[in-house]
Amino acid sequence: MCIRSSSGDWGVFVQTLIISCFIALIQFTSASLLDKLQNNYLVSDFHELIRTDPVANSTLQLRSCTLFVPTNAAVRKYNGTILVSYHMATVPMTVRQLTKTIPSDFEGNPLLYITRNRKGEVYVNNAWINQTESTEIVTQENKRQVMHVINDVLVPLTLLPTARTQVTNPNAWEFLQQSDLFDVQENRLRTYRSQVTLMRKESLYQSPGGHTFFIPVDEGFKQTTRSSLVDRKVIDGHVILNSVLFSAAQSTEDTHTTAAFEDNIKVTVNFYYDNDKKLYVKSNTLVGDSKHSTGVVLAQVLKANIPVSNGVVHLIHRPLMIVDTTVKQFLEKNFGCNSFQSLVDNKNGALRRFYEVIMEIGGEVLDDINSLGDVTILAPSNEAWNASNIENIIGNREKMRDIVNMHIIKGRVDVEKIKQSNENMIGQFPTIHSSTFLYFNVNGDDTNEVVTVEGGGVNATIIVPDIAQTNGFVHIIDRVLGVPYTTVLGKLETDPMLSDTYRMGQFSSFNDQLNNTQRRFTYFVPRDRAWQKTQYDYPSVYKKLFMKDFAYHSRCIMERHLLIADDIYTMKTLAEMTKKQNDSIILPTFRDSLKIKVEEEVESYVILWNYKRIRVFRPDVECTNGIIHVIDYPMLEKKDIVVSGGSYQLHSNFCIVFANFIILAIAKNLF
């Protein structure tokens, strides 16, 4: 039997198939979102809330809508009353169709705000939308409905049960003006409201559109003079125009310009999370004047993400931009930024552990800080103190006092000053710990700038720079300085200033031994700029130092720089040995011995070797298995590498002869 098919028959068949599939699809999706919720175990708790809400139930039965559904985990984490209607909108919208603002179905139709970030993530208010779980259906009544699963409960601004005045869908000014009527916990906003009125800045908070408002609570004005410092520019610095910033949807790396951003004053704001996941906001006055100091002010966010009709409000513990405390007061009263809480109550301050350590060693450090006049503190974060290597010395008061002093610089040192000192060399500043310097390095551009500091063998990154005080700055860093946590090899691997020495040691496997924790090394390490200097003195030698074919010669040079003994040699020890000997001292190196003199100069040391004066750029960089002295010139001579007629030439000639021999042998066998 032969089956014949024309193109027309085939077209009819395809049309019939499509219609059949469409009918089946309609039948499949004819159930309401209620049925979808009931069958989704991830959101069963919210389904139960809808089932007992007659208005929401009716909407899902009869109307088109968009429904934002919190997961069970989000519902169970939330302690308040969940308002189902605030999770609904009467216009069906897929993820692509979501507009910047959507009127909710809650009383007064307060807005829901949609944020799309650079990662392609989508948020509604402060809740992340799981796009893979979004569902669209058409009900039997031909109503289109869309469901989006979110990771947090949506919380509208609501009145207190005791409120006698009805306020519906307020803007930021109406919220501030009548804040006592709203459920904002124990926070009161009367002082800041009075200053906004006094400065006639109500219109800023009434502005239509979508903005972000930071409002300090009354507790942040306990210092009697602080409220008088809230002028028109400071108020502008608490508002980000034309951007609605819910905290979860923002990257802490993003910096936002405030309304105080013009020729004479420039203030930016960004969010910051500490290691305990507490949320802070940082204002940074880039350009100031006689009334507004440059620098960062850090404020904890007490109640975040309060939606209003023209944006979002965040309540903060103190006003931004205002610098009115000394460094000592910042550590003493703030105890990590909560100036209104007692030391006992404030268990989660950003610098809680640093303050505790200061008090454990007697507290005299605070008096020292106060007596210095201008001062800069490199303050380790709470997380930094959890490192295991610190536990071994935390009870040693004398050692801890030295370590704390290593974090204190006399004078005002902000990032701008660090950058200026880095223009021609690594920036270095003396600490109040005897003969100890901190070395700063700036990497990246202005949009992605990373400032690192090295002290006592530890490299730390400044995670919150330039917290301004009346007499200096506080920088929060991610490690405790002066407590080594890595081997000599680990230090070479991670220190950008020592990369050439590390690379040279890799050629000949010289570096392998430097990870041995059973030995004690003293290593004179030329910094990168030291090797660059040899390029001008011995150009042919410099070129070969970094060639693998000359690994043997490089290794010999490295061995001259490495002392191996039962104990380490600090620069002070070497200087004292030289003075006592009144002549050169002989030290045991990996290869033979090293004959040097060490002279102590003002705040520095000089090594005399082979008629050369070599400055010690960074002395006493401690490691877990030794100590490094960073030097300004290698202990190198021209004869260290034979330029011509040496092993390289011999090796090359041998390779050529051997290759010719192989070719001749192959040719003989073939022919």
Q: What is the pLDDT of residues 75-122, one digit of tens each?
A: 999 999 999 999 999 999 999 999 999 999 999 999 999 999 999 999
Looking at residue 4, what is its pLDDT?
44
Please state, in angstroms and rounded to a whole number, the distance separating the CA atoms of residues 175 and 307: 10
Q: Encoding tokens for residue 590?
A: 């990996």
Looking at residue 548, what is its pLDDT?
79
Q: What percentage of the chain exceeds 90 in pLDDT?
A: 59
Task: Write the pLDDT tens digit of every residue in 304-329.
Answer: 999 999 999 999 999 999 999 899 98
CB burial of residue 310 (10 Å; 0-12, 13-18, 19+): buried
The pLDDT of residue 339 is above 50: no
The pLDDT of residue 365 is above 80: yes
Rg (CA), the chain: 34
Please state, in angstroms and rounded to a whole number, the distance separating the CA atoms of residues 375 and 380: 16
| Distances in whole angstroms, Cα of residue 167 to Cα of each of 106, 160, 405, 538 | 14, 11, 55, 81
What residues have CB less than 8 Å from 351, skipping those under 6 apart? 331, 334, 335, 336, 337, 379, 381, 382, 474, 476
Kindly report which listed range (3-17, 391-405, 454-468) carries the lowest average pLDDT score. 3-17
Section 603-615 average pLDDT: 91
Looking at residue 31, what is its pLDDT?
64
Closest Cα partner for 540 from 631, 636, 613, 610?
636
The pLDDT of residue 629 is above 90: yes
The domains of the chain, with CATH numbers, are 23-150 (2.30.180.10), 172-324 (2.30.180.10), 352-477 (2.30.180.10), 488-640 (2.30.180.10)
Spatial contact of 553 and 640, defined as CB atoms under 8 Å apart: yes
The pLDDT of residue 649 is above 50: no
Task: Write the pLDDT tens digit of every residue in 405-437.
Answer: 999 999 999 999 998 887 666 778 999 987 788
Identify the DSSP state of 362: T
